Amino acid sequence: MKYVDEYRDADLGRALSGEILSLVEPGRHYKFMEVCGGHTHSIYKYGVDDLLPANVELVHGPGCPVCVIPMGRVDDGIALAHEEGVIFTCFGDMMRVPGSEGSLLEANAAGADIRMVYSPLDALRIAKQNPDREVVFFAIGFETTAPSTALTLKRARAEGVPNFSVMCSHVTIVPPLRALLESPDLRLDGFVGPGHVATVVGARPFEFIPADYGKPIVVAGFEPLDILHAITMILRQLNENRCEVENQYSRVVPYEGNQRALEVMAEVFELRPHFEWRGLGFISHSGLKLSEAYADLDAEKRFSVPGVRVADPKACQCGEVLKGVIKPWECKVFGTACTPERPIGTCMVSSEGACAAYYNYGRFAREREVV
Amino acid sequence: MADQTAVSDREAKILGIIETARGKRAKFRDQKINMSHGAGGKATQGLIEGVLVPAFGGETLSEMGDAGAVTIAGVELAMTTDSYVVKPLTFPGGSIGELAVNGTCNDLAVSGARPIALTLSLVLEEGLDSDTLKAEVEAIARTAREAGVEIVAGDTKVVERGHCDGMYVCTTGIGHRDPRARLSPSSLRPGDRILLSGSIGEHGTAIMLARNLFDLDASIESDTRSLWPAVDALLEAVGPDLRCLRDATRGGVASVLNELARASSVAMIVREGAVPVDPAVAGASEILGIDPMYVANEGKFVAFVAPEAADEALETLRKVDGCEDAAEIGEVRTEPPGMVLVETSFGGRRVMDQLVGDPLPRIC
């Protein structure tokens, strides 16, 4: 594939791997967090870990939009899906996320009409094709997917589609990062910044990370060479005693972000006072809801949702895993009560989660050879 | 230092627990059947190993081959059955009728049996267009002719509107076990080579695009075809050195490899760069965030061959119509038993696990 294969070149990968080896101080242990679940996915898909020296460790951050949806929210979605006459639409990878009593996939089996869509516009199309049904779109994701929800709402308004509404569970990236950085037991040396979110918000919103917390951050693309390149850039900052926001993904990310997308979001959404994150708890001003102007398209107002908070199981230590304080296998329930088939916490939910990745992969990390 | 040792002991213990859990027979604990149970991954395995095999329990069924062996008065036969519920009924490269013949014949073929005869059951929905039915009947007749099998018995049922999606087709096949074949899912040995009969992911991708769920256009056709000619050629060339064949239908190549790694208690290593994937399939998979290794095929099989016969097997395969892109994609190893590992083109390594259900498009 043109413009993709170039960023997966094994020879260039080995060259960058050599460069990283030359940049690290022997004896020092480096811990970098890749914020975005898309990075985690690439790291496992391409085996990027295998190209890093043993003293460079990647910690998987909170940027998996599916993993962070709390159980109570999934329960609300399922309740909506069971409302008389409702077609409930959501992204495919949301289907298996467990609520307190099963997932959307299981709700579908129990008789709810739940349909997987690839874009919120598909949900709007379903609404237009089924004028006698109420169509609800379960909107999730960071600033990456929020603009497409916003544009869909604008179109629904413009076209006057009365049977379409949105259950908004969009979240923003800066508050959870700040919450992580505020944690006294945080042990990180730098961040691989979320490239997809930055295409919308730009690189500027991450300036607080070096300014307030003294950690370098490099906004990076999602191909394996992008990730290795970003790691060399972080190491250079550390070696040269610099601490700033750098943009590795400049082929897509403008430093100031996408103004048009930000304007649409500002029109359609407003910040919730607080929003619950699976594994991280409540974080102030971290979630979006529909603004007053779009309140009539808000599914949570159109229907009654239980809105019951379901606590994460006590034994679950996802918060500590996300902060890099403990390794997945150090969690009390890892691999026993909590498995990819029956996950308890955020990190085991999606294939992008740190625990799921370790469950599948950990046994065969570089220290062990296949014979 | 002492502390570190304690920690790694604990890690080893937990990883040991995981390994034991993986090795155990899959359980069925779900309250209701959901779509995952039909996707060919872990959920399907749980249903089969947790409910069906224990209930019927015969030795032949426990082998979990694509077809079961039956011997009647010294004649070695193989039997298999399959239902076809594909939506839409026709799609680029094929239709439900072609699938119903090829799919069942292929289950016989990869069990080392020459397909002889089929039975055909049609479940038709009230309101189905007669022309649609006639076209499928014609497709079934043509495909059976091409595959050299006779339709010897049949049944028709009609259900109320809304109770089936146009039509469902069930076929049962019987074949003659070829004396040149000694195939078994538990016969893999370390060192065996893994061959793939052609490029992967075409059928599943063609169906996904034909459903118009995604605004994507690509000229991708289903690969539905009869595999017997390819199997026949392989048996002739390297028969005694063939360990096992599997057609990589739902769940794709990844699921087949995982099933066999477990059945033979061996490890497998797959070289990602060696797996043939059509550029259009690769592009669609990239956009949808799906790995073609998990996507269904209807005309591709995986062959496990003794190392000394691998080159000849590959050469033979490539001469068969439709298998020109056949490739050696990896080999069987000893450790870790039951696991499939991939060497990525980028130079890293990862586990290629079995999915729980269908591959779902990722949002980011």
Q: What's the per-residue H, E or C state across chain A?
A: CCCCHHHHCHHHHHHHHHHHHHHCCCCCCEEEEEEEHHHHHHHHHHCHHHHCCCCEEEEEEEECCCCCCCHHHHHHHHHHHCCCCEEEEEEHHHCCCCECCECHHHHHHCCCEEEEECCHHHHHHHHHHCCCCEEEEEEEECCCCHHHHHHHHHHHHHHCCCCEEEEEEEECCHHHHHHHHHCCCCCCCEEEEEHHHHHHHCCHHHHHHHHHHCCCEEEECCCHHHHHHHHHHHHHHHHCCCCCEEECCCCCCCCCCCHHHHHHHHHHEEECCEEEECCCEEEECCEEEECHHHHHHEHHHHCCCCCCCCCCCCCCCHHHHHCCCCCHHHCCCECCCECCCCCCCHHHHCCCCHHHHHHHHHHHCCCCCCC
**pLDDT at A264 exceeding the cut of 90:** yes
CB neighbour list of residue B259: distance below 8 Å, 6 or more residues apart: B45, B64, B185, B246, B354
Residues B206 and B317 in one domain: yes
Residue where a domain stops, chosen among B177, B208, B234: B177
B259 inside domain: yes
B18 inside domain: no
Average pLDDT over residues A179-205: 92
Strand partners, A246: A218
Which of the pair, A9 or B175, is modelled with greater confidence?
B175
Which of the pair, B40 or B359, is modelled with greater confidence?
B40
Report pLDDT for A366: 40
Report pLDDT for B4: 39
**pLDDT at A187 exceeding the cut of 90:** no
pLDDT one-digit tens code per residue, B236-284: 999 999 999 999 998 999 999 999 998 899 999 999 999 999 999 999 9
Cβ <8 Å between B279 and A335? no
B206 inside domain: yes
Residues B170 and B197 in one domain: no
**pLDDT at B323 exceeding the cut of 80:** yes
Cβ <8 Å between A92 and B363? yes
Mutate to test the interface with B, among A14, A42, A93 (most CBs of B within 10 A): A93
Cβ <8 Å between A362 and B360? no
Question: In CATH terms, are A5-63+176-247 and A71-173+258-302 the same topology?
Answer: yes
Q: Does B346 touch chain A (CB under 8 A)?
A: yes
B57 inside domain: no
Average pLDDT over residues B26-39: 85
Q: Does A37 touch chain B (CB under 8 A)?
A: yes
Residue B295: count other Cβ atoms within 10 Å of its Cβ. 29
**pLDDT at A369 exceeding the cut of 70:** no
Average pLDDT over residues A352-358: 76
B15 CB neighbours in chain A (<8 A) are 329, 335, 362-363
Which of 155-184 (A) contact B at CB < 8 A? Answer: none
Q: Which fold has domain A5-63+176-247?
A: Rossmann fold (3.40.50)
Residues B216 and B286 in one domain: yes
Query: Out of B19, B213, B345, whose CB is closest to A8?
Result: B345
Confidence of residue A368 (pLDDT cuts 50, 70, 90): very low
B35 inside domain: no
Q: Does A140 touch chain B (CB under 8 A)?
A: yes
How close B77 comes to chain A (CA, Å)?
A: 38
**pLDDT at B294 exceeding the cut of 90:** yes
The DSSP H or E segment spanning B168 is strand B167-177
Report pLDDT for B86: 92
Tokens of A96: 């298996």
Count of domains observed in chain B: 2
B232 inside domain: yes
Residues B316 and B277 in one domain: yes
The ipTM assigned to this model is: 0.81
Residues B213 and B151 in one domain: no
Cβ <8 Å between A45 and B344? yes
Q: Does A2 touch chain B (CB under 8 A)?
A: no
Q: Which phi and psi angles does B348 have, rounded to 5°?
A: -105, -175
Residues B75 and B224 in one domain: no
A327 CB neighbours in chain B (<8 A) are 11
Please provide the average confidence, as pLDDT, over all residues in chain A: 90
Report pLDDT for A306: 87
Confidence of residue B218 (pLDDT cuts 50, 70, 90): confident
How close B332 comes to chain A (CA, Å)?
A: 10
Q: In chain A, pLDDT over 90 holds for what percent of residues? A: 61
Which of 178-237 (B) contact A at CB < 8 A? Answer: 213-215
Average pLDDT over residues B205-218: 83
**pLDDT at B188 exceeding the cut of 60:** yes
**pLDDT at B362 exceeding the cut of 80:** no
Q: In chain B, pLDDT over 70 holds for what percent of residues? A: 95
Residues B167 and B229 in one domain: no
Residues B233 and B295 in one domain: yes
Which of the pair, B299 or A312, is modelled with greater confidence?
B299
Q: Does B24 touch chain A (CB under 8 A)?
A: no
Residue ranges in B199-278 assigned as alpha helix (H)? 202-210, 228-238, 252-264
How close A10 comes to chain B (CA, Å)?
A: 4
Confidence of residue B178 (pLDDT cuts 50, 70, 90): very high
Residues B152 and B202 in one domain: no
Cβ <8 Å between A360 and B335? no
Residue where a domain stops, chosen among B145, B177, B209: B177
**pLDDT at B68 exceeding the cut of 50:** yes
- Contact between A142 and A173 under an 8 Å Cβ cutoff? The reply is yes
Residues B69 and B155 in one domain: yes
Residues B130 and B70 in one domain: yes
Query: Which range of residues forms the domain containing residue B89?
Result: 65-177
Nearest CA in chain A to B284: A1
Cβ <8 Å between B362 and A92? yes
CB neighbour list of residue B167: distance below 8 Å, 6 or more residues apart: B89, B96, B122, B123, B124, B125, B128, B132, B133, B136
Q: In chain B, pLDDT over 90 holds for what percent of residues? A: 68
Which of 338-367 (A) contact B at CB < 8 A? Answer: 339-341, 352, 359-364
**pLDDT at B23 exceeding the cut of 80:** no
Residue where a domain stops, chosen among B142, B177, B212: B177
A196 CB neighbours in chain B (<8 A) are 364
A145 CB neighbours in chain B (<8 A) are 363-364
Average pLDDT over residues A202-214: 96
pLDDT one-digit tens code per residue, A79-95: 999 999 999 999 987 88
Report pLDDT for B35: 85
Report pLDDT for A44: 82
Cβ <8 Å between A144 and B364? yes
Cβ <8 Å between A96 and B349? no
CB neighbour list of residue A250: distance below 8 Å, 6 or more residues apart: none
Q: Does A258 touch chain B (CB under 8 A)?
A: no
**Eight-state DSSP code of residue B241:** G
Q: Which fold has domain A71-173+258-302?
A: Rossmann fold (3.40.50)
Residues B253 and B123 in one domain: no
Please provide the average confidence, as pLDDT, over all residues in chain B: 90
B19 inside domain: no
**pLDDT at B25 exceeding the cut of 80:** no
Report pLDDT for B361: 62
Q: Is the peptide bond before A194 cis (omega within 30 degrees of 0)?
A: no
Predicted structure pTM score: 0.87
Report pLDDT for B296: 93
For the domain that residue B332 is a member of, what is the CATH number?
A: 3.90.650.10
Report pLDDT for A65: 84
B209 CB neighbours in chain A (<8 A) are none
Q: Does B282 touch chain A (CB under 8 A)?
A: yes
Domain layout of chain A by residue ranges: 5-63+176-247, 71-173+258-302, 318-364
What are the distances in angstroms from CA A36 to CA A193, A194, A258, B131, B234?
A: 7, 5, 19, 52, 47
Q: Does B58 touch chain A (CB under 8 A)?
A: no
For the domain that residue B131 is a member of, what is the CATH number?
A: 3.30.1330.10
